[in-house]
């Protein structure tokens, strides 16, 4: 069952996957932005295992950064709700880690899976969003890091990446697409995407694989 949200709500990982081209069904994210949903029981994502692995990765990385002299804030300490000027939707997110020194600010996102382009887009999103959306980070010039599990290696995202206006405009156009009218968002059912989608068949008759 779906419940209409009081306000259109957008989560950064939705946008990063669309911008990176890792998913094609714009409609699924439009739907979740406008409605709270009962999740499909067919999704086979092991949430408990992911939470344990993700928590351990964040804890390890926080200790590494603190040993280097950074003041580190984690997850909910970095949460924000932001309504851009002239818009009615809300962008909400929480960066896994923010590491601060007097002349340095780094935002980091921990990933337990394989390296993906959307990881870069998501960290970049936090880099230019936190200075305007979070009261404690106003005006800071963030660089970024994608923190992967042991054996993969961390990937830096330099602050200069924020100057890529083509990518930045792509992110904002995707946000406005998802926040806008349903008719402008493509519905692209496919087995691979549908099996990972948490919208149930009663809300999406086009769903495949159930």
Q: In the prediction, which pLDDT does 164 show? A: 85
CA–CA dist 149, 69 (Å, integer): 22
Which tens digit of pLDDT belongs to each residue from 107-165? Answer: 999 999 889 999 999 999 999 999 999 999 998 999 999 999 876 789 999 888 877 88
Residue with the bigger pLDDT between 19 and 45: it is 19
Which tens digit of pLDDT belongs to each residue from 160-197? Answer: 887 788 888 999 999 999 999 999 999 999 999 998 89
Cα angle value 103/100/16 (rounded, 5°)? 110
Q: Max alpha carbon distance in the chain (Å)?
A: 53
Q: In the prediction, which pLDDT does 39 show? A: 65
Contact indicator for 156, 143 with CB cutoff of 8 Å = yes
Phi-psi region of 153 (alpha: psi -120 to 50; beta: other; left: phi over 0): left
Q: In the prediction, which pLDDT does 48 show? A: 82
Characterize the bridge pairing of strands 90-94 and 97-101. unpaired
Q: In the prediction, which pLDDT does 41 show? A: 55
Burial of 175 (0-12, 13-18, 19+ CB in 10 A): buried
Question: In the chain, what percentage of residues exceed pLDDT 90?
Answer: 75
* pTM of the complete model: 0.89
- Give the mean pLDDT of 93-107: 96
CA–CA dist 16, 13 (Å, integer): 5
Q: In the prediction, which pLDDT does 161 show? A: 81
Residue whose C-alpha is closest to residue 83's, from 75, 73, 74, 92: 92
3-state secondary structure of 5: coil
Q: How confident is the model at residue 43 (pLDDT cuts 50, 70, 90)?
A: low
- Give the mean pLDDT of 24-48: 81
- Give the mean pLDDT of 8-20: 95
For residue 40, is pLDDT > 70? no
Tell me the DSSP string of 69-107. T-EEEEGGGGEEEE--TT---EEEEE-SEEEEETTEEEE
Contact indicator for 89, 9 with CB cutoff of 8 Å = yes
Domains of the chain with CATH codes: 2-194 (3.90.320)
Which tens digit of pLDDT belongs to each residue from 74-91? Answer: 999 999 999 999 999 999
């Amino acid at each position: 069952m779906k419940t209409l949200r009081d306000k259109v709500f957008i989560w950064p990982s939705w946008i990063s996957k669309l911008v990176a081209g890792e998913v094609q069904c714009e409609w699924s994210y439009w739907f979740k932005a406008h409605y709270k949903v009962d999740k499909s029981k067919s999704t086979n994502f092991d949430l408990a295992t992911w939470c344990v692995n993700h928590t351990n990765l964040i804890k390890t990385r926080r200790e590494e950064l603190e040993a280097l002299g950074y003041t580190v804030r984690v997850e909910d300490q970095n949460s924000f709700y932001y309504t851009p000027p002239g818009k009615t939707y809300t962008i909400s997110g929480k960066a896994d880690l923010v590491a601060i020194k007097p002349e340095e600010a780094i935002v980091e996102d921990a990933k337990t899976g394989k390296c993906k382009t959307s990881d870069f887009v998501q960290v970049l999103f936090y880099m230019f969003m936190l200075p305007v959306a979070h009261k404690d980070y106003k005006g800071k010039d963030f660089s970024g890091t994608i923190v992967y599990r042991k054996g993969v290696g961390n990937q830096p995202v330099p602050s200069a990446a924020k100057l890529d206006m083509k990518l930045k405009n792509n992110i904002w156009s995707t946000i406005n697409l998802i926040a806008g009218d349903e008719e402008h968002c493509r519905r692209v059912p496919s087995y691979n995407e549908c099996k990972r989608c948490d919208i149930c068949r009663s809300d999406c008759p086009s769903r495949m694989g159930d």
